[in-house]
Amino acid sequence: MDLYHVHCDTKPGVSDMDFVAAVERYMGHLREQGLIAAWRLTRAKLGFGLKGLGDWHLMIEVRDLAQLEAAFRHVATRAGAVEGHHHGLNSLVANPTFSLYRDFPDAVRQTGQERF
């Protein structure tokens, strides 16, 4: 699995539950379309988040980079329901940062033949 991470804050005045509802709509749409495998939203507890990364952490699981690319292509159409969900979430977000990680070792990894 590849894990696409989004760390962010919400804009001033945005209700935490309005933010959660927007994430649920957007991620639910992508999941229903088969464009992501799973997602999870977490929030820093008692202010113990990583400094500079924001209060919220959205983890999006995809099978591989092909599925992630399909999700990006779908969102990039900027049309239909996905545009409403995308805008509905992005309009609430401040200071987003993004990263991409993978399960390790990779399923295809072999050992004993490495040269470095």
Task: Kindly list the structural domains of the chain, giving each domain's residue range(s) and its CATH number in brackets, ordered by start.
Answer: 2-102 (3.30.70.100)
The pTM of this model reads 0.92
Separation of alpha carbons 76 and 109, rounded Å: 33
Query: Which pLDDT does position 6 carry in this prediction?
Result: 98
CA distances (Å), origin 79, targets 19, 26, 40, 72, 87: 22, 14, 25, 13, 11
Query: Which pLDDT does position 107 carry in this prediction?
Result: 87
Whether the link from the prior residue into 105 is cis, omega within 30° of 0, is yes
Query: Which pLDDT does position 87 carry in this prediction?
Result: 97
> Taking the chain (116 residues) in consecutive chunks of 10 residues, what is each chunk's mean pLDDT?
97 98 98 98 93 96 97 97 97 98 92 89
Query: Which pLDDT does position 116 carry in this prediction?
Result: 82
Residue 31's CB: how many other CB atoms inside 10 A?
15
